Chain A
Amino acid sequence: AQSVTQLGSHVSVSEGALVLLRCNYSSSVPPYLFWYVQYPNQGLQLLLKYTSAATLVKGINGFEAEFKKSETSFHLTKPSAHMSDAAEYFCAVTPGRGADGLTFGKGTHLIIQP
């Protein structure tokens, strides 16, 4: 079984500041981890994924995440926040190679202050 914990249901940062969204996972097998972004009333867009290759993963829109097995973490970062980054972010885990559904965290609402 697997689970995901996202610390902080809301995160507020100033435009241009560092964005850090936290994700910790629990998995009985080596996990595959994902970060998705969701804008209001829309579906999910994949930001990046960890699939047991490089532990530092770069995604779209300047986001990146680092897989730390010892800390069971997969935190999402972006050096400089932009107003367009305001959205809901979900961390997700799956044990399989696309053959299993995803288990999502509760989500973090990112607020960008001007």
Chain B
Amino acid sequence: GAVVSQHPSWVICKSGTSVKIECRSLDFQATTMFWYRQFPKQSLMLMATSNEGSKATYEQGVEKDKFLINHASLTLSTLTVTSAHPEDSSFYICSAPNSGIVSYEQYFGPGTRLTVT
């Protein structure tokens, strides 16, 4: 149990276009999901907290108009990279705690590799 999926697993897009990444909790509900980005050979940096039914909370330095987050249901959060540029190329990973139990664990998706050409 406690599986988180991401789609797509990798995507290549042209500069200036937008890309949507989905994060789904497959067997549990998640009122909160988290989005991280990871540059090559670097650590994960928290970008934003996605809240079901309300606005996302962005970390300092993350452009909310560029990285649009929508958490429309208890099992789905989406991250849209708008007007993507090469510097947005990165590995994007989502995670979610199980809202139904008292748990300290977050379950991570397999990640989405975005390459902007």
8 Å CB contact of B43 from A41, A42, A100, A105: A105
Interface of chain B, main secondary structure: strand
A44 near B43 (CB under 8 angstroms)?
no
Decide if A77 is an interface residue (CB 8 Å cutoff). Answer: no
B111 near A106 (CB under 8 angstroms)?
no
A101 near B110 (CB under 8 angstroms)?
no
Closest CB in chain A relative to B11 CB, distance in Å: 14
Listed residue (A43, A102, A106) with the most chain B CB atoms within 10 angstroms of its CB? A43
Known: A41-B113, A42-B111, A43-B111. A102 touches B43 (CB 8 A): no
A98 near B111 (CB under 8 angstroms)?
no
Instruction: Kindly state the separation between the CA atoms of A102 and B105 in the bound complex, as whole angstroms.
Output: 10
Number of interface residues of B (CB under 8 A): 24
Report B22-52 residues with CB < 8 Å from chain A CB: 32, 34, 36, 42-46, 49
Instruction: Kindly state the separation between the CA atoms of A14 and B36 in the bound complex, as whole angstroms.
Output: 33
Q: How many A-B residue pairs have CB under 8 A?
A: 59
**Chain B positions within 8 Å of A44 at CB level:** 44, 93, 95, 108
Report B74-117 residues with CB < 8 Å from chain A CB: 93, 95, 97-98, 102-106, 108-111, 113
**Chain A positions within 8 Å of B108 at CB level:** 36, 43-46
A102 near B103 (CB under 8 angstroms)?
no
Interface of chain A, main secondary structure: loop
Who on chain B is nearest to A52 by CB? B104
Who on chain A is nearest to B9 by CB? A41
Known: A43-B93, A106-B43. A97 touches B104 (CB 8 A): yes
**Chain A positions within 8 Å of B111 at CB level:** 41-43
B contacts, CB < 8 Å to A: 32, 34, 36, 42-46, 49, 59, 93, 95, 97-98, 102-106, 108-111, 113
